[in-house]
Amino acid sequence: MAKALYIDYQKCTGCRLCELVCAVKHDGISNPTRSRIKVMKWEAEGLYIPMSCQQCQDAPCLNVCPVKAISRDEELGRVVVDYDVCIGCRSCVAVCPFGAMNFNVIDKKVIKCDLCDGDPQCVRFCDVNALEFVSPDEISIGKKRDAAGRLSKAGREAGVLLAEL
């Protein structure tokens, strides 16, 4: 199964390096509006949430596109835009529930995460591993392990409390 971009926002430090390298990788230009990933911030609470394309199985952007410019690339597990077909109507931008389909006003075209053809630069540069490129089934296993860890810790603490009673 193709790998997926997994975002663990808790780990994100909010540095926006992912935005920078994404724009430089794709366009050779530093400009966050060109980035396919975007970190949304609530600075007053110290909360930073990177947002990017989920490469949906049943993708609303793909379904809505009137000229069928969007398709699924099963090999790389991504949703891609064919710019030869795209008419720039921005229906996909409007329908994406995550805001992950962007419209680049400078080049006047829609842009979205293409997983850097299998070597996502945001993942490569994010040293805290807030971004990972993993098999989708690993994601839930990892989370299960974390949750189980918390439960067992809670269980042990409860056991100690009971023993003290």
Partner 1 sequence: MPLKRKIAYIDLTTGDIEVKPIPIEVRKKFLGGRGLDAYLLYNHTKKGCDPIGPDNTLMVSGGILTATCASATARTHVMAKSPLTGLLGSANMGGFFAPEMAWAGFHHLVIKGKAKHPVYIYIHNGEIEIRDAEGIWGLPVTDAQWAIRDDLGDQEVKSMVCGPAGENLVAYANVMTGIKNSGGRSGMGCVMGSKNLKAVAARGTMDIKIAHPVEALEYNKRFIDQIISAKVNQTQGTLGTPFIWGATNSWGGIRCRNFQYNQCEYADDIEPERIDEICEETMGPYHMTGCFGCQVHCRAQYKITEGPYAGRYDEGPEYTSQGAFGGETDTPRANTVLVGNHLVDQYGMDNLETGSLIAWAMELYEKGILTKKDTDGLDLSFGNDEAVIEMIDRICYRKGFVGDTLAKGGIQASKVFGKDSFQYLIQVKGMSNLHSDERATPALALNIATGSRGSDHLRSRPAIDLYHLPQDVLRRIYSTPIPYDGPLSSEHTEYIGKPWQVFWQENCYMAVDCLGICKYHTTFLGATLPNFEDWPKVLYYNTGLDMTPEEIWMVARRCNMIERLFNLREGLTRNDLEKGDMLNHRYFDEPTRRGAPEVVGRVIEKDKFIKMIDEFYEHKGLDKDGNPKPETLKELDIENEPSHLV
Binding site for partner 1 (CB under 8 A): 10-17, 20-21, 24-25, 27-34, 43-46, 48, 105-106, 121, 124-125, 127-128
| Residue placing its CB nearer to partner 1 in the complex, 24 or 134 | 24
Smallest separation (angstroms) from partner 1 to the CB of 165? 26
Assess contact for 83 and 9: CB atoms under 8 A. Answer: no
Select 14 or 64, whichever has its Cβ closest to partner 1. Answer: 14
CA–CA distance, 75 with 159 (Å, rounded to integer): 49
- Is residue 103 within 8 Å of 92, Cβ to Cβ? no
User: Which residue among 4, 18, 62, 65 contacts ligand SF4 (CB under 6 A)?
Assistant: 18
Q: Across-strand partners of 132?
A: 6
Count of residues that interact with ligand SF4, criterion CB under 6 A: 15
Does 10 help bind ligand SF4 (rule: CB under 6 A)? Answer: no
Element (H, E) at 124: helix 121-125
Could you tell me which stretch among 52-60, 71-79, 88-96, 123-131 binds ligand SF4 (CB under 6 A)?
Answer: 123-131
- Angstrom distance (rounded) from CA 26 to CA 30: 10
d(CA 60, CA 147): 31
Task: Identify which of residues 79 and 130 has a Cβ nearer to ligand SF4 in the complex.
Answer: 130
Q: What is the largest CA-CA distance in the chain?
A: 72
Residues near ligand SF4 (CB under 6 A) are 12-18, 39, 48, 50, 125-126, 128, 130-131
